[in-house]
Structure 1
Amino acid sequence: MAGIRYIIIAGAGFLGGILYRDKAGHTLSAARSLSPANVDVPAAMDIDERGDHVIETMKFGFPSYESIRSRKSYVISYDRRNRVPNWVLERLTPNHIAYNENVSRSKTEFFEDDSIHPYFRSTNSDYRGSGYDRGHLAAAGNHRSFQEFLDDTFVLSNIAPQVGKGFNRDIWNKLEKYVRGLVKKYRQVYVCSGPLYLPRNEADGKKYVKYEVIGANNVAVPTHFFKIILCETESNEYDLEAYVLPNTVIDENVPLKAFLVPRDSIERAAGFLLFEKLPLTSLRNVNGLPALKK
């Protein structure tokens, strides 16, 4: 379980009610956890990047507190019933996504998350022969500055079944590349991604939530995926974009902006609030339009 720290919620307040465990299993207060010495990241990183990435990544609040894990360069909440993430949150800077010629996907492979009880894990065999790709929530391409960061995105707790051709390899990949383009334009970018299980009307006039499960562990196949992007400007204002994409083959000519949705529609469907500690007055634009300040 190297590189993983559990987050223990002792109360509802952010930071003040949160304790951390270091790699040796010792409990750390939020204040102590700010020390770079307690963070398992490469020594080559600068002091700002070596600071506690949990504090910075989650500065606008945790969407929910279920089975939270601090990975090496992102934070995840894991859904033990469905064997996929509830949400994954990344904080990206130009340095973080910088290309490193020594980092390669060919050096890594998908692996089980041994911080999760075997009853609740997904495995590679669940995906084998399913017809679905192992789709990243924290994108591998967002974590190419160090090999160990890239490797850590291949843990199966960061993965969900995605349609391959026409979705994971196409429009979802296009959205991930779009995010990296934004990182180069802003001071930093926060990205929250996750699955959704949305209802649909059936022939009997009733609405049902139906989704496939795969493998011996019954890994849920989400009907949709969301991605919310929060971009910080040099003047400490924020631009927000919220997307929901159906987990199906999507025509390559459909533009990304066709999948923009109100943030609250994702929150209502997912069952948690996103960036709730972000003051509305600091929002500049939402989905490309001037934000309402009230």
Structure 2
Amino acid sequence: MNKKLAFRFATLSGLAIGSFIGGIAYERKRCITLLDQSTNPYLVHACKDIKTLTAMPALPIFGTVSAATPFVPDVPQPSKLVAEPNRVSEIMKYGFPGMDNIRSYSDYVLSYDRRNRVAHWVFEHLTAEGVKSSPNVDRSKCDFKPDESIHPFFRSLNTDYKGSGFDRGHLAAAGNHKSHQQHCEQTFYLTNMAPQVGSGFNRDSWNRLEKYVRKLTKTYSNVYVCTGPLYLPKKEADGKVYVKYQVIGNNSVAVPTHFYKVIVGETADGKLELESYVMPNQVIDDKTPLAVFQVPPESVERSAGLLFFDKISRKQLQKINGKKV
């Protein structure tokens, strides 16, 4: 009886192994045929291991385990949002402040803070030609809209801002990107927005700073500007120091306590000058000179946890905040 059971077991095992080997052989042949005929990069990745399969010590020749049918996802079409590689290189010529959740648009680059639903930083490269307004650009056709490349868990929405009392404040200013309609429209993605006090800040003093940055293109051949939020500590009545900030909407979009701009101007002969500003997110007397908000760039770096223009040695800078280095 035991011999009969052993015989049946051996027969069934042989059939199973034979079917497995046959299936692997069929899959290998199919993948090789598909590889020879396809340019799909996902398919190539799925099948390349099978095509190059070799025997390994102590393993059978069919030592790679894979699905019977390779998974071939739809190949995403190139997004019209994404900047050309050479444009990204131009914008980020002097280094990335950080590498968290980078997004590149046609004419600016940002790093997105998924927890706060506001960018860590937004980077722009401006020239006199690039900031000229084209008669074909109509800002009224630009709509605030969520960036669907961000996971739904981490997006900010227009409904978060509705009734909050805060403006959807641009980080990369729309006025810096009015040479092309698409460039201007892309500054209205909510990834480029942060809750800002409206009257007295976004529409006034912050706007003055944005106009000042555009005006620098008349002095410098290239202007590189990094903009972002800060959440700065404040001493409370109990004598302790806290970091406190409001959040708005169902997605808890953080309201920054301050905003910064760090700017490098590059002259035609390659000389570099740096300016850095921090403004509180509150009503500011519009007569207050911009120079009042100048701060050492190192203080912004420490507060933001970022390194600005790290490809530039401080020795290369001719001036910092208007003072010779």
TM-score category (smaller protein): 0.7 to 0.9
CA shift in 2, pair 1:163/1:40, >3 Å: closer
User: Who is 1:110 aligned against?
Assistant: 144
User: Who is 1:152 aligned against?
Assistant: 186
Residues of 2 paired with 1:113 and 1:39: CA distance?
10
User: Who is 2:306 aligned against?
Assistant: 272
1:255 matches 2:289: yes
Contact 1:39 1:51 in 2 (8 A): no
SS at 2:210's partner residue?
helix
Equivalent in 243, 250, 265 of residue 216 of structure 1: 250
Query: Which of structures 1 and 2 has the bigger CA Rg?
Result: 2
Equivalent in 124, 129, 132 of residue 90 of structure 1: 124
| Equivalent residues in 2 for 1:1-294, closer than 5 Å | 24=77, 52-291=86-325
SS at 2:111's partner residue?
strand
C-alpha RMSD over aligned residues: 1.8
Contact 1:236 1:282 in 2 (8 A): no
Residues of 2 paired with 1:107 and 1:144: CA distance?
12
Deviation of 1:252 (Å): 1.2
The one-character-per-residue Cα deviations of 1:220-274 (angstroms, maximum 9, x if unpaired) are 0000000011000111011110000000000111110000000000000000110
Fraction of identical pairs, as percent: 57
| Gaps in structure 1 of 5+ consecutive residues | 1-21, 27-37, 42-49
Contact 2:81 2:105 in 1 (8 A): no
CA shift in 2, pair 1:231/1:166, >3 Å: same
Deviation of 1:279 (Å): 2.3
Normalised by the size of structure 2, how large is the TM-score?
Answer: 0.75
| Gaps in structure 2 of 5+ consecutive residues | 1-74
Kindly indicate which of the two structures has a greater share of residues assigned to strand.
1
Deviation of 1:218 (Å): 0.2
Counting matched residue pairs gives: 251
Provide runs of 4+ in structure 1 moved above 3 Å.
22-26, 38-41
